[in-house]
Amino acid sequence: MFSHTLAGQRHAFQDLATLLARATPLRSGDCLAGVAAGTDAERAAAQLALADLPLKHFLTEVVVPYEDDEVTRLIIDGHDAAAFAPVSSMTVGQFRDWLLSDAADGQALAALAPGLAPEMAAAVSKICRAQDLVLIARKAEVTTRFRNTIGLRGRLSTRLQPNHPTDDAIGVAAAVLDGLLYGSGDAVIGVNPATDNVAAVGALLRLLDDVIHRHEIPTQSCVLAHLTTTIAAIEAGAPVDLAFQSIAGTEGTNASFGVSLATLREGREAALSLDRGKLGDNVMYFETGQGSCLSAGAHHGVDQQTLEARAYAVARAFEPLLVNTVVGFIGPEYLYDGKQIIRAGLEDHFCGKLLGLPMGCDICHTNHAEADMDDMDVLLTMLGAAGVAFVMGIPGSDDVMLNYQSTSFHDALYARRALGLRPAPEFEAWLEASGVMAADGRFTPLEGGGRFAGALARAGAAA
């Protein structure tokens, strides 16, 4: 039982999950789950009570029962007490102050990451303002490698997302070319298949693999099929770079996605067995998003932001190349409007970075949410300032397969230019050598078409 008296009124919170939920900035998903604070005063009291809670408490009171949930067991059994030691005597409030202090530099944060339980990261995020979430996350540098280097300071990578409503190969290829000519694709060239079908997924994988190898692009491909489909594709001989899976913060939600920790291990081992990474062996690509546990009916009365942080504890066990919080994708029942989407995106990036993950963000909204591209611009700018590893690059922001709006090739160039950010170094060199874009981020005139002269001549003749 926790409590705090504010303006003469005592607010009580029966357990840790309740305290965390009541302390969470307002969002529709917590209201839907019935766990949100009833009033602004209750929320403020919960934040004050949470700030006084020792970090050690999170190791003794879990929010989802240990016996019932393999994610809880992963968190508790995998906790690194030595890494935790420097902050083990702090309260949540003192932890925020320390994170903002100059003592918490990049090296200190990297050393701390294995010692943090996801609920600790979630707790401190709840008492942070947006600017705190930016400033602290900016200090945490997480780099990963497959065929290039993701997450270096001063770099902003993009996932080139060339989706097509029917997986039409020429349509996908056209969008890939468009993205490459706009300097996109250093995080991954990643297609969401319209149908989860082993043969179609294999065809898309071969298409992307051919382009990457023919043009010697220092990047990796991914077809975002269910992990069991990707494993089947590997068995059928398909050229898989990254193994993808959506994951969440409870065992029940992962089960609703058709996976377990054992499935994730199996997928990672299958991808590693192909040994296709030139610079490193980060072979997993995970996607997450607040609200998935409630959507699956497996939230255990825990708020959606804390559960999202628990998904990052799942991710870090598999050394991913990329973790992408798809922040506005599920819809307004979880994040109602632009304000809630912006806050959630900053929280997710912050928690992921604190836990040592290469965090990217699909800065997005659906047409039934109260949000528009102005909101996306605000979040993109703030995440760029916070050091986000990658964002999406979608032609004209319009995903014609998944039916939502995310950041475009143009948007990524805006962020790079406004914030002085550059692509991954290997990709940047390739862009210059290919005649697409100079090292200063300016387009080159593509005289003769550079590396893509053939495609450009053919497209020009057809126009």
Partner 1 sequence: MSVVVDRWSGLRRHTPARIALGRAGVSLPTSEALAFRAAHAAARTAVHAALDADALGATLGAMFPAVAVLASRAEDRPTYLRRPDLGRRLDDASREGLALAEPKGADVAVAICDGLSALAVERNAARFLAAFAPHVARHGWRLAPLGIALQGRVALGDEIGELLRARLTLMLIGERPGLSSPDSLGVYLTHGPRVGLTDAARNCVSNIRDGGLAHGEAAHRAAYLCAEALRRGLSGVALKDETAPAPAALGGGAAAIGL
- How far apart, in whole angstroms, are the C-alpha atoms of residue 285 and residue 223? 10
Q: Does 264 bind partner 1 (CB under 8 A)?
A: no
Query: Which region, judged by CB under 8 A, interacts with partner 1, from 8-16, 52-60, 68-76, 188-196?
Result: 188-196
Query: Which region, judged by CB under 8 A, interacts with partner 1, from 121-129, 152-160, 175-183, 385-393?
Result: 175-183
How many helices, marked H, and strands, marked E, lie in the chain? Answer: 21, 14
Q: Can you tell me which of 45, 121, 204, 223 binds partner 1, judged by CB under 8 A? A: 204
Q: Does 190 bind partner 1 (CB under 8 A)?
A: no
Q: Answer yes or no: are the C-beta atoms of 161 and 326 closer than 8 Å.
A: no
Other beta carbons within 10 Å of 69: 22
Nearer to partner 1 (CB atom), residue 31 or residue 385 = 31
Q: Answer yes or no: are the C-beta atoms of 320 and 282 closer than 8 Å.
A: yes
Q: Can you tell me which of 410, 425, 429, 432 binds partner 1, judged by CB under 8 A? A: 410
User: CA dihedral in degrees (266, 361, 238, 186; nearest 10)?
Assistant: -130
Q: Can you tell me which of 48, 173, 272, 317 binds partner 1, judged by CB under 8 A? A: 173
Query: Which region, judged by CB under 8 A, interacts with partner 1, from 6-14, 87-95, 191-199, 274-282?
Result: 191-199
Nearest-approach distance from CB 386 to partner 1, in angstroms: 21
Contact characters 326-355, partner 1, x per CB under 8 A:
-----xxx--x-------------------
Q: Does 91 bind partner 1 (CB under 8 A)?
A: no
Among 56, 65, 44, 61, residue whose Cα is nearest residue 95: 56
Q: Can you tell me which of 88, 94, 260, 366 binds partner 1, judged by CB under 8 A? A: 366
Read off the DSSP letter of residue 67.
Answer: G
Query: Looking only at residues 428 through 447 of this chain, which bind partner 1 when binding is defined by CB under 8 A?
Result: 441, 443, 446
CA angle, 430 then 432 then 437, to 5°? 115
* Structure tokens, 293: 């546990």
Nearer to partner 1 (CB atom), residue 120 or residue 160 = 160
Among 345, 310, 307, residue whose Cα is nearest residue 324: 345
Q: Which residues contact 425 (CB under 8 A, 6 or more apart)?
A: 148, 149, 152, 155
Contact characters 296-325, partner 1, x per CB under 8 A:
xx----------------------------
Query: Which region, judged by CB under 8 A, interacts with partner 1, from 2-10, 57-65, 146-154, 163-171?
Result: 163-171
Among 405, 432, 358, residue whose Cα is nearest residue 187: 358
Q: Does 257 bind partner 1 (CB under 8 A)?
A: yes
Nearest-approach distance from CB 340 to partner 1, in angstroms: 12
Q: Does 427 bind partner 1 (CB under 8 A)?
A: no
Nearer to partner 1 (CB atom), residue 141 or residue 196 = 196
Among 288, 293, 285, residue whose Cα is nearest residue 264: 285
Q: Answer yes or no: are the C-beta atoms of 188 and 180 closer than 8 Å.
A: no
Q: Answer yes or no: are the C-beta atoms of 358 and 348 closer than 8 Å.
A: no
Nearer to partner 1 (CB atom), residue 65 or residue 165 = 165
Among 107, 119, 134, 133, residue whose Cα is nearest residue 56: 119
Other beta carbons within 10 Å of 430: 23
Nearer to partner 1 (CB atom), residue 162 or residue 358 = 162
Nearest-approach distance from CB 416 to partner 1, in angstroms: 8
- How far apart, in whole angstroms, are the C-alpha atoms of residue 412 and residue 120? 32
Q: Would the CA dihedral through 213, 214, 218, 223 be positive or negative?
A: negative
Other beta carbons within 10 Å of 133: 24
Nearer to partner 1 (CB atom), residue 47 or residue 405 = 405
Query: Looking only at residues 266 through 285 of this chain, which bind partner 1 when binding is defined by CB under 8 A?
Result: none
Q: Does 214 bind partner 1 (CB under 8 A)?
A: yes
Report helix, strand or coil for 244: strand
Q: Answer yes or no: are the C-beta atoms of 358 and 143 closer than 8 Å.
A: yes
Q: Binding site: what residues are annotated?
A: 159-161, 192-193, 245, 287, 295, 362, 401
Query: Which region, judged by CB under 8 A, interacts with partner 1, from 38-46, 255-263, 280-288, 319-327?
Result: 255-263
Phi, psi of 145 (to 5 degrees): -145, 140
Nearer to partner 1 (CB atom), residue 115 or residue 190 = 190
Nearer to partner 1 (CB atom), residue 26 or residue 455 = 455
Nearer to partner 1 (CB atom), residue 10 or residue 214 = 214
Nearest-approach distance from CB 212 to partner 1, in angstroms: 10
Query: Looking only at residues 12 through 71 of this chain, which bind partner 1 when binding is defined by CB under 8 A?
Result: 28, 31-32
